[in-house]
Structure 1
């Protein structure tokens, strides 16, 4: 039996690929440095996943699957190279697992995860049992493990990651292009090279669903149309698919739209998802109706808990536009006093967007705590720290901002700033998600202490 070994199998994206690979009848093994919820779910599904990294675990594998984050010094990858075992990027493994499927690929600088999940949800609601690979847990789909689900239909949805150019390995029937902004220039080297990669992606499909409100997307879409790609635009005006406060409208037909997650940008994402679902054959009314029950995805404005009148929301936003959008959505949803624990991700992104991050975090009636930069796959850049962002912030009179480098300490400070009625948000793509749990624990301890203190005076 063919065996694929996944290094870093416990990540949200990698675990989804592992799930879909196993569904094709391939034996899956994997390793990671710790047990995530995704890791445990794979083990419970019967896969041989182990904690730690040991060179001998790749012996006998037909292929070893990695992400860009796996370094060449990893002992398992080094053994695979030494033994001549085929090494696949996770995008190659995913393309293999979905071979023969009609592929919908969702790309853009932000919004990919939520929109991919919306497409899958709309398809399922319309009776199309689509497979999907999304970089977060998708709520409300029975049988989904992390962001991976193997359906019975000939349709599949993938979140197409541009960060390392791997999205060019997909050859989708339908592509969604949400937005294009400068990011991942550590890989591309220039904005021009980034745009060229998106142009290549957009031209390699039959139908392109493109955001009419993004000038760069529209420039790419026009170039794709010249190669014979059918382009469907969406936006709040002057588009093939328009979004109003109450409906999606196409060709004069209005379909009532209810999006249960906050943020005007989510209505645009829903329109893109609906257009793609209809393009692949979903009934328009059933697809739009399904969106009313969309439960969201993990770490996308996810309510982690509420203690003593404090709501704790966890969000993956890691680009300035995303940070601005999620804080704007919080205000639109009625949040008053905000406490924001933000963990910048990547030194190159922090260096490039320090002012934009500062602008996004400079909000009224908020206490902002910035943890140290989560470098992940990068080495530090001298002079680029979280202080780089703080120094550029314009802190309002009714707000505060500070850097607390250690994440656990930052979580404790954030919890201490909360009061009944506060919405406390942990924001970033790195380990800051752990802080949401620590904050809830601290709030519970404080609440129990207050109750005990009150009782002692009774």
Structure 2
């Protein structure tokens, strides 16, 4: 039987190892919507797993060779899947194609107008802004995002329109697989220390990504961020590439004239083609306002009218785990943040303190990855000093093995040196009680990190209500 239209032959009956992951689940969802018979496995049940089942996918809990169906046509993996995974081993024994997540996504973007959003920070937010705004305008884009918009499984969609908006991940250099018509680079910083040893390696990697832009395409890049400006100097004169810079810098092509906080929203005024344009960004913080300007520049590069797109960007009200309000109990608001790099942590804390003047901000922070903590632990601690008080958990290892001598103590010591009020709490289950003892009516509690710290928000609210 031939594959359905829009599905590569090898992905007619794909098996995803780790199907519940942010990137993997999006590709699985799009394939299911296109008519593929999707199957996979994940370590545990989750709302995302259930959402995939609702789309017709078969999902096994736990990894075992027997999960791989006899008629599977390919096995899809991410960089997090180890070589000794039993399903991957079974696929190799059977001679099945093993396809990296990024190659699968690149295949789905064939015959579309791809827009790829890259950068050390802000990718998920900017991709989400574009997906929402373009959908609001009736352009029905396809999209693949690293976070859910408003419900489990809402991180991806197969649309009937010609535009495909995708988050482009630099962490494992997988964004080198894409060939976008429009590429966005929000910022360029050293991160993912297990894969990059220096800023030179980071710049070289981003330069390869920009080199993949289709001839006649556009690079949208920050005029404010030093790493982005360095990248611009490397690529600006490339034949067949139009470069559009954006930001507060006076030499920006799309210049931001003002960002005015309005409580939990912002009003942004830009100078575009000699004319001022003002629009609303419905989430707080200067960094989110600049993400919206990047989205505006990218959409305009695809031919979307600027005024229409600016208005539609106001429809974006946030993505899960990006300063997401989880609820309020006992006069205390609990907000969840995915921030795990010092730059992100600082930006979110500044946004919250600016939007909630007069409220104390209490942070529950869970470091993510031993390698990141080793390299950036001091800066993480300094960022936490922006909070009125913080609770620091043990490191969430994700895919990494422990590194001798690398613990949360590095962050705690740096935070205390910066004047922070810090409580070390290695027992995650004890955190709701600890926070309840600290919080007072009018306070904001921010759960922060890329690991399972997000699960604590509802538990903190429940304890505050009791």
Shorter-chain TM-score: what band?
over 0.9
Q: Give the 3-state SS of the residue equivalent to 2:210 in structure 1.
A: helix
Q: Is the 8 A contact 1:303 1:311 kept in 2?
A: yes
The alpha carbon displacement at 1:395 in A equals 6.1
Q: Give the 3-state SS of the residue equivalent to 1:248 in structure 2.
A: strand
Give the aligned partner of residue 100 of structure 1: 111
Q: Is the 8 A contact 2:350 2:386 kept in 1?
A: no
Give the aligned partner of residue 157 of structure 1: 165
Q: Does 1:185 align with 2:200?
A: no
The alpha carbon displacement at 1:411 in A equals 3.6
The alpha carbon displacement at 1:181 in A equals 0.8
Gaps of 5+ in 2: 2-11, 260-267
Q: Is the 8 A contact 2:381 2:414 kept in 1?
A: yes
Q: Is the 8 A contact 2:38 2:56 kept in 1?
A: no
Match among 17, 29, 36 for residue 26 of structure 1: 36
Aligned-partner Cα distance in 2 for 1:289–1:340: 34
- Give deviations 1:338-360, integer Å, cap 9, x for gaps: 11000000001001011111110
C-alpha RMSD of the superposition: 1.6
Q: Does 1:388 align with 2:396?
A: no
Q: Measured at CA, do residues 200 and 435 of structure 1 come closer, stay the same or move farther in structure 2, by a change above 3 Å?
A: same
Q: Could you list the runs of 4 or more consecutive aligned residues of structure 1 that deviate by over 3 angstroms after TM superposition?
A: 394-397
Aligned-partner Cα distance in 2 for 1:40–1:79: 25
The alpha carbon displacement at 1:100 in A equals 1.1
Q: Is the 8 A contact 1:370 1:410 kept in 2?
A: no
Q: Does 1:363 align with 2:373?
A: no
Q: Is the 8 A contact 1:122 1:274 kept in 2?
A: no
- Give deviations 1:309-361, integer Å, cap 9, x for gaps: 11000010010000000000000111521110000000010010111111101
Aligned-partner Cα distance in 1 for 2:107–2:37: 14
Give the aligned partner of residue 455 of structure 1: none
- Give deviations 1:204-250, integer Å, cap 9, x for gaps: 21200010001221221232222221000001132111122342221
The alpha carbon displacement at 1:392 in A equals 1.4
Q: Does 1:61 align with 2:72?
A: yes
Q: Size of the alignment, in residue pairs?
A: 440
Q: Does 1:225 align with 2:246?
A: no
The alpha carbon displacement at 1:396 in A equals 7.2
Q: Does 1:168 align with 2:181?
A: no
Give the aligned partner of residue 364 of structure 2: 341
- Give deviations 1:85-107, integer Å, cap 9, x for gaps: 11111111111222211100000
Q: Is the 8 A contact 1:7 1:32 kept in 2?
A: yes
Give the aligned partner of residue 439 of structure 1: 460
The alpha carbon displacement at 1:289 in A equals 0.1
Give the aligned partner of residue 449 of structure 1: none
The alpha carbon displacement at 1:435 in A equals 1.0
Aligned-partner Cα distance in 1 for 2:212–2:87: 34
Q: Give the 3-state SS of the residue equivalent to 2:414 in structure 1.
A: coil
Q: Does 1:237 align with 2:260?
A: no
Length-normalised TM-score, structure 2: 0.91
Q: Is the 8 A contact 1:55 1:79 kept in 2?
A: yes
Q: Give the 3-state SS of the residue equivalent to 1:120 in structure 2.
A: helix
Give the aligned partner of residue 288 of structure 2: 266
